Amino acid sequence: QLHLQESGPGLVQASETLSLTCVVSGGSVRAAGYYWAWIRQSPGKGLEWIGAVYYEGATYYNPSLRSRATIFLDKSKHQFSLNLTSVTAADTAMYFCVRDVLVPGALQTPWFDPWGPGSLVIVSS
Amino acid sequence: QSVLTQPPSASGTPGQRVTISCSGNSSNIGRNSVYWYQEVPGTAPKLLIFGSTQRPSGVPDRFSGSKSGTSASLAIRGLRSDDEADYYCASWDYTVSGHVVFGGGTRLTVL
């Protein structure tokens, strides 16, 4: 059974870089056919896709976050990470890491399963 | 402002059938499958429907998905109190190099 677990600081200062890691257990980030993605949810708001990385290293990002977000794999440690630079209060959110199933013939699909429990990040000024 | 449009709320009584709509355009739902997620407050979202109409194992057949043109729907029959949750639709959008888009979510209340 695949499990994902987010980790990182719960508090980040405004203008600094938010860094989160997702440890994958019960499976491999090297497996073909899967992206590894980050999704966030601001308090009381809906879901927002941040971006995803494929096992070969290809990435896709939300256009609204592309200039600040980087997602990358660490295959040796079975984990993937998110860096979000120049954070503001608007980046305060619960951050989820997810496995994204790639459907043959599609660039990518929002087939997110499973999800990590989430990591709350508060940006303070 | 979400790219996919959902009603903010829906409600029903136990045993009833409710539907939640999700409206997009030709760059997303019109060209791609729709995925539905259930988020019970305090827990991570859970996949309910993939490929517009398919249920993962473990999801009751009370939940069903459909898609027509640039719109999709999630139907829940035999409504139960533990169906009370937020429901989100999602699809791939081909604009701006391609990205995932979500609906704004629908809060389902079981009266």
Averaged pLDDT, B50-71:
97
- The SS3 assignment for B30 reads coil
Interface check A61 vs B, CB under 8 A:
yes
pLDDT band at B95; cut points 50, 70, 90:
confident
| Band (A114; pLDDT cuts 50, 70, 90) | very high
Angle at B46 between CA A68 and CA B28, to 5 degrees: 60
What confidence score (pLDDT) does residue A57 get? 87
**A110 in reach of chain B (CB within 8 A):** yes
Cβ contact B22:B34 at 8 Å: yes
CA distances from A51 to A20, A110, B33, B80, B101 (A): 13, 11, 18, 34, 11
pLDDT of the residue at A102: 87
Residues of B in contact with A112 (CB under 8 A): 35, 37, 45, 47, 90
Which of B96, B100, B101 to mutate: most A Cβ within 10 Å?
A: B100
Minimal Cβ distance to A47: which of B32, B99, B102? B102
Average pLDDT, chain B: 96
Q: Is the pLDDT of residue B33 over 90?
A: yes
Best of A112, A119, A120 to mutate (most B CBs within 10 Å, chain B): A112
> A11: distance to nearest CA of chain B, Å?
20
Task: Give the residue on B whose Cα is nearest the Cα of A37.
Answer: B100
> Most A CBs within 10 Å: which of B99, B102, B106, B107, as the mutation test of the A interface?
B99
Per-residue pLDDT tens over the stretch A40-86: 999 999 999 999 999 888 999 999 999 999 999 988 889 999 999 99
Interstrand relation of B71-76 and A47-54 (parallel, antiparallel or unpaired): unpaired
Residues of A in contact with B33 (CB under 8 A): 103, 109
Distance CA A119, CA A125 (A): 19
